Amino acid sequence: MSPTILRILIIACFFLSGMTGLVYQTAWARILGLVFGNTVHAVSTVLTVFFAGLAIGAYALGVLADRWGDRWGKGSLALLYGLLEIGIALWGFAVPWLFRVVETLYLHRLHPLDHSLLTLTIVRFLLAFLILIVPTTLMGGTLPVLVKFFVRSIGEVGRGFGMLYFVNTLGAALGVALCGFVLFQVTGVTGAIHLTAFFNFLIGLSACLVARLALPAV
């Protein structure tokens, strides 16, 4: 299979990955709003952790991508990307269960106690942070890994980054539309998370298959 077709397949995976990312973000905010009883705090918490994870992942996994690609070759970066997507999927399956644990802890152990509003706000932020920082960090790492995969010279960085960011953001817009108008009504919030995690798993497996084909071709 030609390198061009392999790259198109990875671009398609990244488009779909952008879609799943925003489904997660919207669904997590819905669940946290139910657990904590405050939609504004829930949305603020999810957005804070989401962007913090993207930043951490972009830097940390960007460094890893440089070393990985230099050691194993560009084709292997598709494998690294696939592993990140599979990691996101596995954590996505676990998040609803983890939120139920947090709900039990918060409603039955912490909330009835005589804590100040500030203390409760900090506690629930930290609990949500611990759950969501892992998948969001993995999400943040996907872009630098694929930039390293696509860019062949320093002169291609701007075009490669712009193309990937465009594709991923376009997928994110589709994800918001899907979960807002279709997905939540059909599957419910938890069902949407599980379906999205399964979709992420398929994206990861597809990327790993592309990596197997790309190793001799890229």
Q: What is the mean pLDDT of residues 159-181?
A: 91
Q: Dihedral sign, CA of 67, 70, 75, 76?
A: negative
How far apart are alpha carbons 102 and 113 in whole angstroms? 16
State the CB neighbour count (10 A cutoff) for residue 86.
Answer: 19
Domains and CATH numbers, the chain: 3-214 (1.20.1250)
Question: What pLDDT sits at residue 122?
Answer: 82
Please, what is the angle between helix 117-150 and helix 157-178, to 10°? 130
pTM across the whole model: 0.90
Residue predicted with more confidence, 106 or 149: 149
Residue predicted with more confidence, 55 or 33: 55
